[in-house]
Amino acid sequence: MRHLDLLAEAGLYGLAGPPGSGGLGLDIATACQVIEVLAGCCLTTTFVWMQHHGPVFAVSGASDPLRQEWLGPLCRGERRAGIALAGVRAGRARLNARPGEGGWLLEGTAPWVSGWRRIDVALTAARHEEDSVVSMLVDMTECETLRVEPVALVAVNASATVLIHFLDHFVPPERVVGTQTYAEWQARDAAGLRLNGSLALGVAGRCCRLLGPTALDEELMARRAELDGASTEQMPAARAAASELAMRAASALVAASGSRAALLAEHAQRLAREATFLLAFGQRPAIRSSLLARLGAGPRLAPTGGP
């Protein structure tokens, strides 16, 4: 929590917010640089903090009542947000919303929600009818209609990631951020892939600094340039390349560290676990296929779920 407080004190919770509301209004290239630097210092802190900016961006484009109440406090870090989006990301919707008396009712599950007890609200996406996605700010407070199940992770475990069960959980209408078709929601969700790539670059960069000068340094610059220049269609392959580089850089650090890498106090083992986590985090089918191809595993073998 102290690390997150320090980011708030530095004004970094307003990274994606407009200056008029207390935000920094940084362009995407600068924001990616900040995320990469922070991820190389502490991936867990960065992982929780980075998810705050999706809600900030969404609220900045919402209707006036919601925007007026939430945008300033979110930009200042007085209120902190996470995301609960995996309930609608692929296949059959796990989380559904239907109109109820005086608002909306959520039913189902939202997996991979990070920052429990560290965030106040989560930008939550739920399917409504066949082709509609409703996004809303949901209070992250456990009650009879909102139950949480902790998830143990191989790395970034202090991110307090949980599975949330919604049991006809009521959300007032003033918390609705917006409604989109599923195709529109998917397009906006895919726009976050570049930011996620900075997490892998941060871990790879930390490994490179600990290793000292190697050929990996030039590859790190190449992967960064590839992500910066990727089109929407090229982004999954660029993301896969960044994650695979982080894994190779961490493996090189483990090999260079020798037997010390088996000690829990050593950076090498932690970075290797973080690189493993980033192979799976934020995956899409195209990213997974590209990763398997880069790793020499051929076509994707079986569908799996993930954050």
Domain at 2-187: CATH code: 2.40.110.10
Mean confidence (pLDDT) of the chain: 92
Q: What is the mean pLDDT of residues 32-46?
A: 96
Residue 110 CA: distances (Å) to CA of 60, 123, 183: 24, 11, 20
Highest averaged pLDDT of the listed ranges 83-87, 99-103, 222-226: 222-226
Q: What span, in angstroms and rounded, lies between the C-alpha atoms of 154 and 173?
A: 38
Instruction: Report, in angstroms and rounded to the nearest whole number, the Rg of the chain calculated over CA atoms.
Output: 19
pLDDT, residue 142, reads 97
DSSP state of 143: B
Q: What is the mean pLDDT of residues 141-157?
A: 97
pLDDT, residue 189, reads 83
SS3 content of the chain, % helix, strand, coil (to 5): 50, 20, 30
pLDDT band at residue 299 using 50, 70 and 90 as cut-offs:
low
Q: Using one digit for the tens of pLDDT, what is the confidence trace for 207-248?
A: 999 999 999 999 999 999 999 999 989 999 999 999 999 999
pLDDT for residue 302 is more than 60: no
pLDDT, residue 51, reads 95
Residue-range domain boundaries for the chain? 2-187, 192-294
Instruction: Provide the whole-model pTM.
Output: 0.92
Q: What span, in angstroms and rounded, lies between the C-alpha atoms of 291 and 255?
A: 22
